[in-house]
Amino acid sequence: MTKEELREYYNSIASERDTWKKRNWYYYHDLENFHTFIVPPNHTVLELGCGTGDLLNVVKPSKGVGIDISDMMVEIAGKKYPDLEFKRRDAERLEIDEKFDYIIISNLIGSLNNIWQVFRELKKVTHPCSRVVVTYYNYLWEPSLRLAETIGLKMNEGLQNWLSLTDIENLLYLNDFEIVRKGYRFLFPKYIRLISGALNKFLANVPLIRRCCLTEFVIARPAGNFQPIPDYSCSVVIPCRNEAGNIEDAVKRIPQMGKHTEIIFVDGHSTDGTAEKIEEMMAQYPEKNCRLIHQVPRKSPNGVFSEEQRRPPNKMLRLGKGDAVRKGFEVASGDILMILDGDLTVAPEDLPKFYLAIAEGKGEFINGSRLVYAMEKKAMRLLNIFANKIFGLIFTWLLEQPVKDTLCGTKVLFKKDYLRIKEGRKFFGDFDPYGDFDLLLGAAKLNLKIVEMPVRYRQRVYGDIKIRRFKHGWLLLKMSLFAMKKLKFL
């Protein structure tokens, strides 16, 4: 949903909100008990996504401010609790010139378009001793909660992001917050006398079983890293084949980052006028510092064509995206190298997040992850989602670092580290036509810190999908087995 659609939706259900909370009083009672335990009375408290104000009221703040995107929610909350302050605000752009002792973010992150930005904004309203309290539904409960919405046992909350504790912790880490506590609570959300208490007080605290609880929580504090951000130069490499309809958007939408940003298109023998469109954009937007190179040069300077240049297009295409990325990296002049797929299924506007993550030292290899936010309906087929999750588990085990999405095309690293990966490529061999595994394995071999940046994955609007699920899936599996042999069976 867009923000305006989200505002309209929550306005439409605002009058029903308290009715639904009464119907599910046992769950909300536990949520209030947890927050009153964590947040002592008589402290300043800011709640993001305050709804009708009940949770903010129950923690008894010395000063309580609640913000919500919905006009109607804010209006209802103000009438119920006139001693508290409620404002219609966008959590992604906190226009509040004040610091708070506690920030409550309860059951909000599932509805946010940009969780990274919301956590970034928390720096404006926190001091060194502040605590951020995040609660959300355990992603294991997604099928049950969807069913509850369908049969009318729970208020419909629309399309949600389903995040694990690791996802939340990573997003906080990327924005200079460190975890104080994290965990799970509340196993059985319906009240049955004697039974519910036993399940939620005792069984919910048993190891392994507790991971199945409904509520997951994170308590974080500012990490105190306020060093100036170094000013690096960037090279954005865009491998493209038959992406003419996406070129203008790519050029116009890629922002300037650091002290200088260049855009390098690597054309893979396109037949739809992609190269010509790139040349047109280079002439039209000279300030964008665009360059075009051909994966196989169209002409030889000495008039003699190599075997690679003489290949017919269908043979040449076997060189793949990995070869295009490597050729782009070879001519790149930036301190930081970025890959952006030419289909623009990952938005160019997300690239500054990657820049900040690597420039601030959060990681040395920033890998995009498409498996955190909710996707557009036709962005990725179900079998592809399943396969991506399997490869994520395999690589997390192989690399001994958490990697949720190995195949996201957006990857960022320093050029100096790429040159080291290139030098050590002979350890694994030049076996990856896509480039994703080659870079991840190379980064792990060098013990670079790999950090994932969640991105929204969108439906392709122009051109055809280049991946063939079964053929390429089998190849990726063989590559994983080869990597296992090299990394685990030394």
pLDDT in the model for residue 398: 82
276 in the same domain as 168: no
Residue 228 lies in a domain: no
Tokens in use for 94?
């906190």
Residue 93 lies in a domain: yes
252 in the same domain as 158: no
* Cβ contact 123:132 at 8 Å: no
pLDDT in the model for residue 391: 84
pLDDT in the model for residue 316: 41
Query: What's 140's DSSP letter?
Result: G
Q: Which residues contact 21 (CB under 8 A, 6 or more apart)?
A: 28, 52, 54
pLDDT in the model for residue 386: 81
DSSP string, 39-105: S-SSSEEEEES-TTSHHHHHT--SEEEEEES-HHHHHHHHHH-TTSEEEE--TTS------EEEEEE
CATH of the domain at 93: 3.40.50.150
> How many beta carbons lie within 10 A of that of residue 146, not counting itself?
12
Below-70 pLDDT ranges, the chain: 225-227, 298-319, 429-433, 463-475, 486-490
Provide the number of structural domains found in the chain.
Answer: 2
**Helix axes of 415-423 and 436-445: crossing angle, nearest 10 degrees:** 90
pLDDT in the model for residue 283: 96
189 in the same domain as 276: no
Q: Which residues contact 294 (CB under 8 A, 6 or more apart)?
A: 266, 267, 269, 275
CATH of the domain at 472: 3.90.550.10
The H or E element that residue 339 is part of is strand 336-339
Tokens in use for 129?
């001793």
**Strands, E, within 223-335: which ranges?**
233-240, 260-267, 290-294
φ/ψ of residue 263, rounded to 5: -115, 125
Single residue among 198, 222, 246 that ends a domain in this structure? 222
Residue 66 lies in a domain: yes
Residue 103 lies in a domain: yes
Residue 205 lies in a domain: yes
301 in the same domain as 168: no
Residue 227 lies in a domain: no
Nearest to 116 by CA among 161, 170, 46: 170
287 in the same domain as 217: no
Single residue among 187, 222, 257 that ends a domain in this structure? 222
> How many beta carbons lie within 10 A of that of residue 309, not counting itself?
14
The domain in which residue 423 lies consists of 233-488
444 in the same domain as 340: yes
350 in the same domain as 320: yes
Cα 85 from Cα 67, distance rounded (Å): 9
Single residue among 222, 248, 282 that ends a domain in this structure? 222
pLDDT in the model for residue 479: 72
212 in the same domain as 249: no
> How many beta carbons lie within 10 A of that of residue 320, not counting itself?
18
pLDDT in the model for residue 468: 59
Residue 361 lies in a domain: yes
Tokens in use for 140?
């294991």
Residue 162 lies in a domain: yes
Query: What's 180's DSSP letter?
Result: E
Q: pTM, whole model, 2 decimals?
A: 0.82
The H or E element that residue 133 is part of is strand 126-137
428 in the same domain as 369: yes
Tokens in use for 334?
């930036």
237 in the same domain as 134: no
422 in the same domain as 285: yes
314 in the same domain as 414: yes
